[in-house]
Amino acid sequence: MIEKHYLGLPVIFQNDSRRMKHLIQDGDNCGQTCVAMVSGKSIKEVEDLVENKHGTYLSNLKLACMVLGVPIVGQWSSKKCYPGNLWPPTCLMLVTTRRSERNHLIVRHGNMFYDPNGGSFYKLPDKYEFCEYLEIETVSVWVDIDEGKHMAESLIVCKQKELQP
C-alpha cells in the first residue's frame, strides 16, 4: 500500500488504485475486518479499538470509524437513497445471509462489493439480503495511471492522527 496525501490529509492508495485492499476475516470479526479495509488499519488495530475480536454492535463500528478518521456520512440507514434506488458509492453494508439469517458486514467501494469471508463481486451476491448501510465520504480526483493517461478515482481521505498507546 502506498500512502499519499490530498489537501494535507492522508489518503489510502493501493498499488492498483482502482481497488481497496481486500482483507479476509479470521473468525466472526467481519465488522472489524470491514472497518480495517476502509481505514487502512490492521484488523488487530480495529479489534483492539473496539475491545472485541468477535461480532460487535454497529454503533461500536461507527465509533471506530470516527476515531480512525474515516469520513462517515450520517447514521446507519436502511434506505436506498441514490439515483436508481442504489447504495452510496462507498459504504459499510450490513446484510443477512438468506439461509441462516445471520448478520454479516461487507464493504461496497466503487463498483465492487468486498466480502471479508472471501470474494469481491460486481453485484450484491444472491445469498445476501440488504439490511443497512453506513455511508463513507469519498473524494473524486484524477489519478495518473500511465504517462499521459488519467482516470477518475474515488478516494477515502482519513483525517486521523496516530493513536496514542
Number of domains in the chain: 1
pLDDT at residue 106 tops 60: yes
* Assigned domain for 165 exists: no
* Assigned domain for 12 exists: yes
Band the pLDDT of 157: cuts 50, 70, 90.
low
Kindly report the pTM of this predicted structure: 0.76
CB-based contact 35:92 (threshold 8 Å): yes
pLDDT at residue 32 tops 90: yes
Grid coordinates belonging to 152 = 477518475
The domain in which residue 67 lies consists of 2-155
* Assigned domain for 163 exists: no
pLDDT at 94: 93
Q: Nearest-5° angle of CA 159, CA 38, CA 4?
A: 55
Query: How many CB atoms sit inside 10 A of residue 52's CB?
Result: 15
* Assigned domain for 162 exists: no
Min mean pLDDT across 32-46, 50-64, 82-96, 100-114 is at 82-96
Query: How many CB atoms sit inside 10 A of residue 57's CB?
Result: 11
* Assigned domain for 160 exists: no
At 158, which amino acid appears? C
* All residues at 6 or more sequence positions from 5 whose CB lies less than 8 Å from its CB, including other chains: 11
pLDDT at 165: 45
* Assigned domain for 16 exists: yes
* Assigned domain for 161 exists: no
Beta-strand runs (E) in 14-147: 72-77, 90-97, 103-109, 112-114, 120-121, 128-136, 139-146
* Assigned domain for 96 exists: yes
pLDDT at residue 17 tops 50: no
pLDDT at 40: 85
CA separation for the pair 132, 75 (Å, rounded): 10
Grid coordinates belonging to 14 = 493501493
CA separation for the pair 133, 91 (Å, rounded): 6
Specify the higher pLDDT residue, 37 or 98: 37
Q: What is the CATH number of the domain that holds 8?
A: 3.90.70
The DSSP 8-state label assigned to residue 70 in this structure reads -
CB-based contact 87:108 (threshold 8 Å): yes
